[in-house]
């Protein structure tokens, strides 16, 4: 069992390592990007990467507090579903109005890989190998569709 401080240190170390690994990779526009803290540039739309004790995940999270507007954003993503699947080369889970760990309702489009543990440094290469190509693909997808979300 890890202390809260140790858990925090290990997680922080992982995300620093991930950021260093991704630093030389330009975004879809050829610019430098802070991949672990990716900014979509659209309020209430986030790209979330998680590395936990039993899984890693990456996805799009829609957090608008108005559930009707959240659903409009989600429906807009549904319109681009085929484009997303083409870019990421796999099917992701689509979840409308799911309660998150803070009791807020969010909508997600994500993929998870079970059996990875961020607390085990030997799993870090597998986690990075899972996150890296999907984050790059998500960025390419977003570069194409972002204008469709800027006027909401």
pTM of the model: 0.93
pLDDT of residue 150: 87
Strand ranges of the sheet holding 105-114, from the earlier edge strand across to the other edge:
45-51, 55-62, 105-114, 93-99
Q: What is the pLDDT of residues 99-120, one digit of tens each?
A: 988 999 999 999 999 999 999 9
Facing residues of 62 across strands?
A: 45, 107
DSSP tag of 50: E
pLDDT, mean of residues 116-130: 98
User: Cβ atoms within 10 A of the Cβ of 69, count?
Assistant: 13
The Cα–Cα gap between 123 and 110 comes to 20
Average pLDDT, the chain: 96
Angle between helix axes 124-145 and 4-22 (nearest 10 degrees) is 60
What's the confidence (pLDDT) of residue 101?
86
2: confidence class by pLDDT, cuts 50, 70, 90? confident
Q: 49-71, pLDDT tens digit by residue?
A: 999 999 999 999 999 999 999 99
Q: Which residues contact 116 (CB under 8 A, 6 or more apart)?
A: 51, 54, 55, 56, 123, 126, 127, 130
Position 152 pLDDT exceeds 80: no
| Collapsed DSSP state (helix, strand, coil) of residue 37 | helix
Tokens of 75: 């429906």
78 versus 100: the higher-pLDDT residue is 78
């Amino acid at each position: 069992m890890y202390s809260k401080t140790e858990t925090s240190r290990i997680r922080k170390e992982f995300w620093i390592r991930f950021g260093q690994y991704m630093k030389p990779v330009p975004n879809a526009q050829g610019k430098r990007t802070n991949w672990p803290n990716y900014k979509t540039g659209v309020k209430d739309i986030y790209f979330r990467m998680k590395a936990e004790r039993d899984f890693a995940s990456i996805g799009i999270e829609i957090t608008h507090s108005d559930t009707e507007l959240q659903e409009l954003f989600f429906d807009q993503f549904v319109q681009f579903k085929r484009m997303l699947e083409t870019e990421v080369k796999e099917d992701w889970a689509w979840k409308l109005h799911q309660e998150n760990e803070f009791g807020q309702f969010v909508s997600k489009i994500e993929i998870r890989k079970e059996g990875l543990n961020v607390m085990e440094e030997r799993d870090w290469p597998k986690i990075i190998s899972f996150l890296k190509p999907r984050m790059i693909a998500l960025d390419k997808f977003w570069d194409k569709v972002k204008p469709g979300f800027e006027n909401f």
